[in-house]
Each structure stands twice: as structure tokens, then as C-alpha cells.
């Protein structure tokens, strides 16, 4: 009798493991959100109580990086796990063409994410997940929208990088119907997401919520803006950055209201997951596609709406302000509070990480540049990577000129193609990148430059070429 009971117990254990409910995945991507644009990350002007609360329930990464300092390359890297240079999407689509005659000509890029790529949505859909996308896509025009790339549902994702109608209905967006007068786009995208959550029944899902906010146009949330206009602030300071100018103090009430509206919606979404008893069995990721818009071309008129001090520069630049981003990851069935990880990670790590956590095997023929972070998330174990590099061979409206960068340990090298110069920083001692050590550490410069070039070669990176019409100033 005991033998039969033991056999029955073992059978029940096996059946239980076989029918174990798959975890859900919620990926929240904010557009242009800076490293210090949130309360938990250092802002004393912007308010984000709901995201701050999420931080306490998540793992906070202090050295998280975007795959690029602009949007489309990072978004493509998240979708595929590949470095933007390998994908040949190294600029925002369709890219910035300088109005003036520059020394260099940036290489041509793809204007869409190829359908042959295995996206995270395709992988999850193949393994029985419902897949949902809402918000900004910016990875191709018709024929390359989210629904062609593995998502069952697409609300608002099309080829434009900013909301064509602004943040209030009518949206002028072919993938989302207009709402009632006064409806705010950030609210609408969250409501659509909640509708999806309420419809999933017991099916596992991949939910990708890609907010347009806080991308330009900087358009105040009318419900909250007065709250920030009433806060007394000193006048902001500015600093020249090459051909750009950087804002050094957070001061813009319109921008603050957009961050606050975002936070309200994150709180609403988390509350819905908890109400539906889905939160515990969900891995949630919250991050940004590049640094905040603190640096713009110095025309004497326009100024960046936010500041990312103490980081240098902002969106478009390969200084820390352009590539270091907020990152929170709440694994499923996670109970630790206030955990902080300082290990450098990057956007193309999400693809192998989420697939690993979902027990989805990656096709061995697919070239993946990202690293599986699950050892860090689950066991506090190490990851096998020595460096991260960036390749941005284009001019940008922030004043950035073509170049590349590499971080190895605490060392960071930036190579500027236009000026043919190199800068070296030790981020442990100099997070603001103010003390260039290239002349003091020539051997380190050579070693890092050689390693950068080898990595670029490994992904078939394309470089700018000389402009035959360029005429140097006398």
C-alpha cells in the first residue's frame, strides 16, 4: 500500500510541475526618460511616488545602459538581442541629415527592422504566449508594424517617433482611434493595456507598453502642471557641449507634469496587475530607450527640457547622460526589498534574459550580442562580459558628431571621428566625465581603442565616409 501511495505522490508532483503556470512578462519602455528624472534616482523637482514604490519591490540597476543614445537602434536591439551595428540600424529612423556641409557623411541605415529577424514577440508567441504592444514603435512603416513582428495586438505603434498629433486627442495616429476631447495619450495607452490584462483569462502573456512620453513635443498634462508651476525654483544654468548646450538644472514644469502623469499611470497598471492576482507571477521591466533630452544644438533659442546632472550631456551623445538609463526589474515571485545591482548591463540583454526566464530556448543559429542576466536576477551570480560598446557614426541634432565608445570595468573610452580625437575617463572616480585621462594613460587608450575596433568589426559596423564637398574653415 505504501508503495502505491508513494507512486501516486510522485505522479502528482510530476503532473504539478508539468502544469505549472507560465509566468507573464510586462515590459515598460519610456521614451527619452533621463537617469535622474525620477524621485528614486535623484530628482528633487519631479515626483514619481508610484515608480519609487516599484523600485522598492524590484532590483534597481545603477549602471544600466541603452544600446544607443537615440531611440530606434535601442528599440531594435531590445526586440532582437542584437547590437544596433549588427542590425545596421545605428540612427533613429530615417535619421538626421545635417543642413550644413559637414566633414563626414554618415553611412546608410535600414529604415525598418527586417521581418527575417526573430523578435522577442515572435519567440514568445511561438511558445503559447499572447503578445500585446501599445505605444511607440518607430521600427518601420507599413508592412513592418508590430503585428508583422509577432504581436497579436498593436495599439498606436507605427513609423513615427513622436506623437504626430501631440499628447491630446485627435492623435493623428493610424493605429489608434481618437478619444474624447481632452483625452491624454499616456492615459489612453495605459487604459488600452489594462483592457488587455482584463481579457487574458489564464493565458500567459508578453505585454510591451512603449510610452511616447516624455518625447517631444513637451506638452503639459493639464491636470498636473499647476502643481509644478507653483514650486519656486532658481533660474536654470546651461553649459556648452561642443556644438550643443546642456541644461544643468531640472526646471521645466511642463516636463515635470509629463513625468508625474507617467507615474500615475504606472501606479494604475501595477494596481490592476495586483487586483487581477497577476503581479506575483509577472516579471516586470521598467526602463528608457536612451538618455534624457538635456543637450540640444546651440542655436541660442532652444534649450533641453530636463537635466541629468551629474551625468554629462544627454540624448544623442555617448557621454553618460546620453546612454545611462533607469532600469528596474521585478522578477516573478520576488520578495526582496531595496536590492541594488551595480553591474553594467545594456538593452540588448533583455532578449536573452526574458527568453531564459520563460524557459524558451534560443535558436543556436541566431547571433545574439546580449547577455542573459538571469544569473544576477535569480542567484546573484556573475555574468560573462568584459565590456559594452556603442557605435553612433552619425551627426545628431543635439550637437553630437560621429563617434563610438567602449566601457570596460570603470574605464571608458570615446572616439570622435569628426575631430579625430580620443577621450578616456575613469567612471568610478569621475562619473561626470570631466577629467580626460587620455594623455596620462596612453597604454590604456591603445588597449581600449583596439578592443573597440575589434568589437565593431565583429558586428560588421559601418563607418562614416569623407564628404567630398566639405570645405574646412580657414
Indicate which CATH number applies to the domain containing 270. 3.40.720.10
- Of 111, 105, 51, nearest to 87 (Cα)? 111
109 lies in some domain: yes
SS3 225: helix
Q: Counting beta carbons within 10 angstroms of the beta carbon of residue 21, is it exposed (0 to 12), middle (13 to 18) or buried (19 or more)? A: exposed
How high is the pLDDT of residue 190?
Answer: 98
Residue 9 has pLDDT above 90, yes or no: no
pLDDT digits (tens, 9 = 90+) for 329-369: 999 999 988 899 999 999 999 999 999 999 999 998 999 99
Residue 222 has pLDDT above 90, yes or no: yes
Q: Counting beta carbons within 10 angstroms of the beta carbon of residue 247, is it exposed (0 to 12), middle (13 to 18) or buried (19 or more)? A: buried
Residue 14 has pLDDT above 90, yes or no: no
Average pLDDT over residues 234-258: 95
Average pLDDT over residues 31-42: 97
3-state helix, strand, coil in the chain (%, to 5): 25, 20, 55
How high is the pLDDT of residue 469?
Answer: 84
How high is the pLDDT of residue 204?
Answer: 97
Residue 10 has pLDDT above 80, yes or no: no
- Of 192, 196, 194, nearest to 183 (Cα)? 192
Residue 19 has pLDDT above 60, yes or no: no
- The string over 194-209, giving b where at least 16 C-beta atoms fall within 10 Å of a residue's C-beta and e elsewhere, is bebbeebeeebbbbbb
Q: How sure is the predictor about 13, in pLDDT bands with cuts at 50, 70 and 90?
A: very low
pLDDT digits (tens, 9 = 90+) for 45-83: 999 999 999 999 999 999 999 999 999 999 999 999 999
**3-class secondary structure for 137-165?**
CCCCCCCCCHHHCCCCEEECCCCCCCCCC
How high is the pLDDT of residue 101?
Answer: 82
416 lies in some domain: no
C-alpha cell at 25: 512578462
Average pLDDT over residues 30-49: 97
pTM comes to 0.94
Distance separating alpha carbons of residues 116 and 80, to the nearest angstrom: 11
Q: How sure is the predictor about 2, in pLDDT bands with cuts at 50, 70 and 90?
A: low
SS3 27: strand
How high is the pLDDT of residue 382?
Answer: 81
- Of 33, 29, 35, 41, nearest to 77 (Cα)? 29
Expressed as residue numbers, the domain containing 289 is 23-383
How high is the pLDDT of residue 15?
Answer: 42
Residue 291 has pLDDT above 80, yes or no: yes
- Of 350, 287, 318, nearest to 452 (Cα)? 318
Q: How sure is the predictor about 213, in pLDDT bands with cuts at 50, 70 and 90?
A: very high
Residue 18 has pLDDT above 50, yes or no: no
213 lies in some domain: yes
C-alpha cell at 75: 528599440
Q: How sure is the predictor about 5, in pLDDT bands with cuts at 50, 70 and 90?
A: very low
417 lies in some domain: no
Average pLDDT over residues 289-298: 96
423 lies in some domain: no
Residue 380 has pLDDT above 90, yes or no: no
- φ/ψ (deg, to 5) at 60: -95, 125
Of 15-19, 266-270, 341-345, 412-416, give the lowest mean pLDDT range: 15-19
Report DSSP state, residue 346. Answer: E
441 lies in some domain: no
pLDDT digits (tens, 9 = 90+) for 144-157: 999 999 999 999 99
Average pLDDT over residues 22-41: 98
Mean pLDDT of the chain: 94
Higher pLDDT, 379 or 41: 41
- φ/ψ (deg, to 5) at 67: -70, -20
Residue 20 has pLDDT above 80, yes or no: no
pLDDT digits (tens, 9 = 90+) for 105-117: 999 999 999 999 9
279 lies in some domain: yes
Q: How sure is the predictor about 302, in pLDDT bands with cuts at 50, 70 and 90?
A: confident
Average pLDDT over residues 87-99: 89
Q: How sure is the predictor about 17, in pLDDT bands with cuts at 50, 70 and 90?
A: very low
pLDDT digits (tens, 9 = 90+) for 198-209: 999 889 999 999
How high is the pLDDT of residue 221?
Answer: 97
Whole-angstrom CA distances from 309 to 247, 436, 444 are 9, 18, 27
Q: Dihedral, CA atoms, 224, 228, 229, 234, nearest 10 degrees?
A: -170
User: Looking at the 3D structure of the chain, how many domains does it have?
Assistant: 1
Question: In the beta sheet, which residues pair with residue 134?
Answer: 155, 209
435 lies in some domain: no
How high is the pLDDT of residue 3?
Answer: 52
Amino acid at each position: 500500500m505504501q508503495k502505491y501511495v508513494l507512486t501516486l505522490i510522485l505522479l502528482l508532483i510530476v503532473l504539478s510541475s508539468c502544469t505549472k503556470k507560465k509566468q507573464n512578462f510586462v515590459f515598460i519602455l519610456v521614451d527619452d526618460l533621463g537617469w535622474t528624472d525620477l524621485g528614486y534616482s535623484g530628482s528633487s523637482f519631479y515626483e514619481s511616488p508610484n515608480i519609487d514604490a516599484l523600485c522598492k519591490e524590484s532590483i534597481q540597476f545603477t549602471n544600466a545602459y541603452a544600446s544607443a543614445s537615440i531611440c530606434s537602434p535601442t528599440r531594435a536591439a531590445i526586440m532582437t538581442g542584437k547590437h544596433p551595428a549588427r542590425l545596421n540600424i545605428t540612427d533613429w529612423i530615417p535619421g538626421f541629415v545635417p543642413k550644413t556641409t559637414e566633414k563626414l557623411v554618415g553611412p546608410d541605415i535600414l529604415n525598418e527592422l527586417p521581418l527575417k529577424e526573430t523578435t522577442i514577440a515572435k519567440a514568445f508567441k511561438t511558445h503559447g504566449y499572447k503578445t500585446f504592444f501599445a505605444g511607440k514603435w518607430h521600427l518601420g512603416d507599413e508592412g513592418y508594424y508590430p503585428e508583422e513582428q509577432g504581436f497579436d495586438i498593436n495599439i498606436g505603434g507605427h513609423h513615427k517617433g513622436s506623437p504626430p498629433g501631440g499628447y491630446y486627442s485627435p492623435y493623428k495616429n493610424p493605429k489608434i482611434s481618437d478619444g474624447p476631447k481632452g483625452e491624454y495619450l499616456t492615459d489612453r495607452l495605459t487604459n488600452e493595456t489594462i483592457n488587455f490584462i482584463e481579457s487574458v483569462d489564464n493565458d500567459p502573456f508578453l505585454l510591451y507598453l512603449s510610452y511616447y512620453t516624455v518625447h517631444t513635443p513637451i506638452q503639459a498634462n493639464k491636470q498636473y502642471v499647476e502643481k509644478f508651476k507653483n514650486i519656486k525654483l532658481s533660474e536654470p544654468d546651461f553649459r556648452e557641449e561642443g556644438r550643443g548646450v546642456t541644461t544643468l538644472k531640472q526646471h521645466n514644469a511642463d516636463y515635470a507634469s509629463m513625468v508625474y502623469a507617467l507615474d500615475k499611470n504606472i501606479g494604475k497598471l501595477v494596481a490592476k496587475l495586483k487586483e487581477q492576482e497577476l503581479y506575483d507571477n509577472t516579471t516586470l521591466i521598467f526602463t528608457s530607450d536612451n538618455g534624457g533630452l538635456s543637450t540640444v544644438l546651440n542655436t541660442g533659442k532652444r534649450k533641453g527640457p530636463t537635466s541629468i546632472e551629474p551625468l554629462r550631456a544627454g540624448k544623442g551623445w555617448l557621454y553618460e547622460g546620453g546612454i545611462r538609463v533607469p532600469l528596474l526589474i521585478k522578477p516573478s515571485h520576488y520578495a526582496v526589498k531595496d536590492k541594488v545591482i551595480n553591474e553594467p548591463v545594456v538593452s540588448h540583454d533583455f532578449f536573452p534574459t526574458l527568453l531564459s526566464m520563460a524557459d524558451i530556448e534560443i535558436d543556436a543559429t541566431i547571433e545574439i550580442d546580449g547577455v542573459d542576466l538571469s544569473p544576477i536576477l535569480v542567484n546573484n551570480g556573475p555574468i560573462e562580459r568584459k565590456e559594452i560598446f556603442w557605435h553612433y557614426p552619425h551627426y545628431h541634432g543635439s550637437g553630437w558628431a560621429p563617434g563610438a565608445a567602449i566601457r570596460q570595468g570603470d574605464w571608458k573610452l570615446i572616439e570622435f571621428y569628426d575631430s579625430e580625437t580620443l577621450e578616456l575617463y575613469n567612471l568610478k572616480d569621475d562619473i561626470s566625465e570631466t577629467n580626460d585621462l587620455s594623455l596620462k594613460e596612453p597604454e590604456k587608450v591603445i588597449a581600449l581603442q583596439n578592443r573597440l575596433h575589434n568589437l565593431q568589426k565583429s558586428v560588421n559596423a559601418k563607418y562614416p565616409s569623407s564628404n567630398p564637398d566639405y570645405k574646412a574653415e580657414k
